[in-house]
Amino acid sequence: MSNETIRIAIQKSGRLTEKTLQILKQSGLEFNLSNNVLFSQCEAFPVELMLVRDDDIPEYVADGICELGFVGFNVLQEKILKKGQSPDNIPILKHLGYGNCRLSLAISKEEEYTGLNYFNGKKIATSYPKSLGEYFAKNDINAEIIEISGSVEVTPKLKIADAICDIVSSGATLKGNNLKEVDKILDSESILVKTPKELKPEQEQTIDRLLARLEGVMKSQRNKYIMMNADKDSLARIKEILPGVDEPSVMPLAGDDGRVAVHLVCEENVFWETMENLKSVGASSILVLPIEKFIS
Ligand code: ATP
Ligand code: ZN
């Protein structure tokens, strides 16, 4: 590997894989992932991808085998607690806004939930024993935590546990297993983590370049480019309707002295209601366009 090359750990196959590969591609990395490759050297950017199980990513990054890693915050938190490390040991460079989920406690739908005290003396199955243990300790709950590596949601039915603590996003899996979510212990999303080991200055530069590109991708996904025609004197009202816009570009319209073309970048979601409000202050021919790339 050259001085500037960094190795990035990503999940080989799972819920984070597609979005992680997508954000890297949008950042200009080109790679070829055929079946069963564990490593892929990127073209046009000094990065080698390493495809692994998500549970192993915090350790690879902590040990400096990989300089960066894309992983769920829930997995990072559990590993840090398991190792008894300080969170500073694996610094978080970026929250990535996908892979959103929560670690929650759930009980049978038929049970009446009486607050956290409900869990005193109960058996709880989870793949996150450290995160749950810490939460219970903080809240003075005395429960038996049973560590299960998969399909935690079937354990109440099998009478292995009274309740579960698991990752929830839509809640459909809980519902399908006759369970209800009663308490959230952690919010999670995909994050980018960095090794605590000292890197070469060239590697730090590669990381800075990648971070700027990731920021650009995330910003362009949030932002929209809006074009419309409007009366010259309606600009103030247009800016009120579109929060978070920079100064718009205003251009004359050929053959119409009173009206102008207005172009602007909007950081907020643009809904049909927003467009109707623009129309009601005299805007017409309103176009909302996605932004492909963005560097500020
Ligand atoms: P691996 O084989 O890599 O160990 P896994 O089965 O442990 O995979 P996945 O189910 O692919 O993991 O989930 C990866 C991450 O996706 C989770 O740790 C979590 O951060 C995130 N995630 C988002 N929504 C969900 C969900 N509904 N269920 C589970 N994980 C989710
Ligand atoms: Zn896993």
Distance 246 CA to ligand 1 centre (A): 38
Tally of helices (H runs) and strands (E runs) in the chain? 8, 15
What token pair was written down for 113? 């939930």
Question: Which two tokens mark 118?
Answer: 């409900």
Token pair 């603590």 in the structure block, residue:
165
Nearest CA to ligand 1 atom 8: 14
Look at residue 283 and tell me whether its pLDDT is greater than 80: yes
- Output the pLDDT for position 221: 84
* C-beta of 15 in contact with ligand 1 (< 6 A): yes
How many whole angstroms separate alpha carbon 266 and alpha carbon 248?
10
Ligand 1 in contact with 189 (CB < 6 A)?
A: no
Nearest CA to ligand 1 atom 16: 15
From 288, 294, 282, 284, select the one nearest 264 (Cα to Cα).
288
Rounded Cα gap, residues 224 and 265, in angstroms: 6
Average pLDDT over residues 235-244: 85
pTM for this prediction: 0.87
Distance CA 154, CA 240 (A): 52
Q: Give CA–CA dist 296/294, Å, rounded.
A: 6
Better pLDDT: 270 or 206: 206
Sheet holding 256-266, edge to edge: 249-253, 256-266, 224-231, 284-290
Mean per-residue pLDDT of the chain: 94
Q: pLDDT band for 36, please (50, 70, 90 cuts).
A: confident
pLDDT band at 115 (very low <50, low <70, confident <90, very high): very high
Domains of the chain: 6-99+190-220 (3.40.190.10), 101-188 (3.40.190.10), 224-290 (3.30.70.120)
Rounded mean pLDDT, 98-127:
97
Residue nearest to atom 29 of ligand 1 (CA): 167
Instruction: Reduce the DSSP state of residue 224 to 3 states and report it.
Output: strand
d(CA 238, CA 232): 11
Q: Which whole-number Å values give the CA distances from 1 to 5, 8, 46, 152, 202, in the listed order?
A: 6, 13, 9, 41, 12
Residue 223 above 90 pLDDT?
no
How far away, in angstroms, is 54 Cα from ligand 2 center? Answer: 5
